[in-house]
Amino acid sequence: MARSLMGPPKNPQAKAKVQPMFIQGCFGGNRTSRDAIVMVVQKKHSTYIGHNVDISSPLLSLRKAYPQVAKSDVLLWHEGDFSWEDIHTEKLEGMNVRLCNLKHPKGAWGPPPNVSVPEMKFSVGYRNMIRFYSVTIWNVLTDLGYEYVMRLDDDSNFMSPIQYNLFDALRSQQAVYGYRQESKECGSYEFGPFVDNYLNKHEMSPMHGALDEPYCESKLGQYGFYNNFFITRISWWLQPQVAEFVQAFDASNLIYSQRDNDLIFQTAAVKLFAEPRAVLKYVDWSYAHVTVIDGKWVFGGVSFGTEDPKTGKQQRKGFQKWMVRRWGLKHHTVDLANENIITVKCTVTNRLCGISNCDKSGEHGLEETIGSFPYAFACHCGAPACSCLHNEHLA
């Protein structure tokens, strides 16, 4: 059966009939796949006031880079302020897009009962999003009939062709969690003790190695999955051992009192309960996630893939063009601004500069794969060695 784009009705009469319908928590269309691509959308960022919201940019880059997007459903979750008229569906032909209201599934959006929500720099809406991606999304998507989920952000950009099904790759590896980039962070001063106390109470050790120091002081806790893009098997989060950890994090109120985020929580859950062989890093395609506020790049980085057909110079030029087109940033302002990785493909050796072996002198040998430790370095390729240059711009 042909797959069609679920969009606004063609005439007013049809619109009047369709509007009251609420299908599985989403307006427009039915589930056509067990795989969901999810993005929380908004018209204006509630925390990053100077942040330019554009939901079409990541979706268009995904459609261009990833033809097999047609085999998944794309769920755009909003707080009740989006309609089909806000989404340029004519640009998303071939994608099964569903518009979903976050406030409809009971308890999916907002703090848990009897939890205080103090005022702080990051808005309540931002903290609601953290809880959605940490706690409530698993049951919501299960109730909708989905088995796997991929997350996108409005800051995401897919920069090279992906010729295979990302979900199938996870399944074929019998993996439960897949990611593209890392980030070096471990939340507030309370998150580490929360993990330590949980481990002690349950007399357990992390699946990714024993701890000889507190969780957030160790490499195990500091290096996390930069989860603006991730793919995971939903049922893994609902198995009793993991679900208990999810509920403990929710009950701790660290989301609303400390803004401890879904990145550090997902990282902890995966490192505590998933076998290392069940965690998959995608390294073959190029991807960028960049947050720009008031004309300044404040979060994010770019990772160039092993199978990206473009040369290093072409990759950098393409990234710079996207930064200008998406964010209006000039060439000379494209700098790495935080602790996320940036890697450049070595065109001579067809290898990647790694970051994990960078020492204080900034020199190390070539590695077969991307290094997994994300410092604020730009990694420039050369022969016979790579140089790691702190905060180096891409020019």
Residue ranges of the chain that CATH labels 3.90.550.10: 1-287
* Bridge partners (DSSP) listed for residue 299: 291
Q: Which of 196-210, 236-250, 358-372 has the lowest mean pLDDT?
A: 358-372
Percent of the chain clearing pLDDT 90 (strictly above): 39
Q: Kindly tell me if the per-residue pLDDT of 264 is higher than 60.
A: yes
Picking from 3-17, 46-60, 260-274, which range would have the lowest pLDDT averaged per residue?
3-17
Q: How confident is the model at residue 154 (pLDDT cuts 50, 70, 90)?
A: confident
Closest C-alpha to 155, from 102, 224, 228: 228
Q: Amino acid letter at 111?
A: P
pLDDT for the residue numbered 327? 64
Closest C-alpha to 175, from 133, 220, 232, 238: 232
Q: Kindly tell me if the per-residue pLDDT of 28 is higher than 90.
A: no
Distance CA 52, CA 320 (A): 17
Cis check: omega of the bond before 276, within 30 degrees of 0: no
Contact 259, 127 (CB under 8 A): yes
Nearest CA to 181 out of 342, 369, 387 is that of 342
DSSP 3-state of 303: strand
Rounded to an integer, what distance in angstroms lies between the CA atom of residue 228 and that of residue 230?
Answer: 7
Could you give the dihedral angle defined by the CA atoms of residues 151, 155, 156 and 159, in that order, rounded to the nearest 10 degrees? Answer: 170
Tell me the pairing of strands 177-179 and 279-281.
parallel
Helix (H, G, I), strand (E, B) or coil at 363: strand
- Give the orientation angle of helix 240-252 with respect to helix 262-273, to 10 degrees: 150
For the domain bounded by 1-287, which CATH number is listed?
3.90.550.10
Which of 55-59, 84-88, 131-135, 235-239 has the lowest average pLDDT?
84-88
pLDDT digits 0-9 by tens, 293-305: 776 666 677 777 7
> Encoding tokens for residue 350?
């067809």
On the question of pLDDT at 236 being above 90, the answer is: yes
Amino acid 298: pLDDT: 65
Give the contacts of 320 (CB within 8 A, at least 6 positions apart). 331, 334, 394
Q: What's the average model confidence in pLDDT over 306-322? A: 74
Question: Which of 94-98, 254-258, 314-318 shows the lowest per-residue confidence on average (mean pLDDT)?
Answer: 314-318
pLDDT of residue 68: 96
pTM for the whole structure: 0.79
- Please give the pLDDT value at position 94: 84
Give the rounded distance of the alpha carbon of 40 from its chain centre: 11
Can you tell me the distance from the alpha carbon of 356 to that of 373, in angstroms, rounded to the nearest whole number? 5
Sign, CA torsion 347/230/262/81: positive
DSSP code at position 277: G
* Span of 6-15, 193-202, 256-265 with lowest mean pLDDT: 6-15
Does residue 49 or residue 244 have the better pLDDT? 244
